[in-house]
Structure 1
């Protein structure tokens, strides 16, 4: 039973509306942004656009864009919340029925609904690129962490969809939860609210990657142990391609290092020195 998903499907019956199969299922080469020929030029265009805007704005006054910025953040807050609820509605009963390892690694954890949710999450990553456009138009500094994380995460989601990794619901669900809080923070502070818990949001972002790495390294280890080193202890193999698993481990490891570095630079500075992050001393990594 999936009451929330069933309610949405009864409200928006995709099949009866004639939505093509390639838009509700990930079909390599047919689903939008499902090939390297689409993904890499799109991400390259993102970089050209933001640095082009930054150069264009050099001798111009910054735009305020408060209404659009708040609307953007409200959409991502609500969208992230809805999506994480849908994912957990699908995942939790399976773990309750079959156990944690099955829920992390069994090939059957790649259900039609989860595939569709992963696609939506993937497209969210392109919408989130607009974050940087706002920063550039407001003449805020484009921090390396921000630009790298935004572009690399879109690529990460692309590789995991192609690799059909069963474990990906864990980092996706945690990331969506972080984004519910983070985008609400940006929505609220853009309206003038004073948020006291910004430091704890950064801590949550770091904890996110610690959990992610524990889970993805656990899944990757079990895959390699079961496949290539049967004498090593393991629970069994894990669904997904080797390329996707290794790329995920490597990129998430780099995120952890970068976010810890950000935390140290932001909160461990001598008193009186406020680091500038995304153009203001807000102490939250937009990632």
Structure 2
């Protein structure tokens, strides 16, 4: 089983022989992600403003489509996380390589790790379906959701275009978090309710992901400034700013969604103990 998995995720000819060629590889032109992002934002605006009619699906059909969508992303996230881990273990010349690609043209965007980075990049375009499902279900659409889904496409393109150091760590971390997230979404869609604390835990796991990325960046920066430099620093700078902005937005969302609720619950409990029947003043 392990040998078959390794062959499929690392040694398969399509994986092992992958090479990112600008203008030739699928979606490798800078105009491609730019066009996708612009089209996404324009479509979201037109649908949100009801300029374009929203498709209408019966509740049962909408649940079926949502379940299939979440199932695909759950399986894909697991495959990307496992594929990148196995690929890095099989091809990395040293542990340092996972954090810091050699600079000066010594690193080519080729091989199994970059294959999974390319799959990851393409998967972010498929994830735009999350937004459509939210709109079709007539649920509120947040700035955090739209901003994240749009800019992450540019980030993943830069991973490949700049051969960004730290990319394997970021890919595995993000894909692993998405395994938990889409498992939660899938269960909710199927009516399998997790304990309420799990919804909060999914958000906090995403926050921990960004904090971990900054900790890993410290290791990468040490290699860059003290041990000969790292490839793709321009891409890393964009990634760091993006992650910082996401961390701020997730913390704001967490505070609005959970801190205020916890404060209200505490107040209600106090009022109940004071004989007010649990009602707020």
**TM-score > 0.5 by shorter chain:** yes
| Cα drift, residue 111 of structure 1 | 5.0
Structure 1 residue 39 corresponds to structure 2 residue 39:
no
Counterpart residue number, 1:236:
228
Paired position in structure 1 for 2:272: none
Please show how residues 80-229 of structure 1 align to structure 2 within 5 Å. 80-92=77-89, 98-99=94-95, 101-107=96-102, 111-196=110-195, 197-220=198-221, 222-223=223-224, 225=225
Which residue number corresponds to residue 265 of structure 1?
256
Q: CA RMSD in A?
A: 2.9
Question: Deviation of residue 5 (structure 1)?
Answer: 3.6
Count of residues in Structure 1 that have an aligned counterpart in Structure 2:
254
1:237 shift after superposition? 1.6
- What TM-score do you get using the length of structure 2 for normalisation? 0.80
Separation in 1, partners of 2:6, 2:160 = 21
- Which of residues 36, 48, 54 in structure 2 aligns to 1:54? 48
User: How far is 1:37 from its partner?
Assistant: 1.7
Secondary structure of the residue that 2:191 maps to in structure 1? coil
2:73 corresponds to which residue?
Answer: 76
Q: C-alpha distance in 1, partners of 2:40/2:209?
A: 26
**Structure 1 pair 128/193, CA: closer, same or farther in 2 (3 Å)?**
same
Q: Segments of 4+ in structure 1 off by > 6 A? A: 57-61
**CA–CA separation in structure 2 for the residues paired with 1:61 and 1:37:** 29
Report the Cα offset of residue 220 of structure 1.
3.7
Alpha-carbon distance between aligned partners in 2 of 1:206 and 1:148, rounded to the nearest angstrom: 16
Match of 2:242 in 1: 251
Q: Secondary structure at the match of 2:194?
A: coil
Give the Cα separation in 1 of the matches to 2:34 and 2:66. Answer: 26
Q: After superposition, what is the alpha-carbon deviation per residue over 1:218-260, rounded to whole angstroms, capped at 9, x for unaligned?
A: 424542x2xxxxxxxx2332222x3212111111111111111
Matched residue SS, 1:6? helix
CA contact (8 A) 1:81 1:177 kept: yes
Deviations 1:51-71 (A, max 9, x none): 222233899796431101100
| CA distance 1:271–1:260, change in 2 (3 Å) | closer
8 Å contact from structure 1 (residues 57, 137) kept in 2: no
Which residue pairs with 1:278 in the alignment? Answer: none
Distance 1:93 1:109 in 2: 16
Larger radius of gyration: 2
After TM superposition, the structure 1 stretch with the greater mean CA deviation from structure 2, 263-272 or 208-217, is 263-272
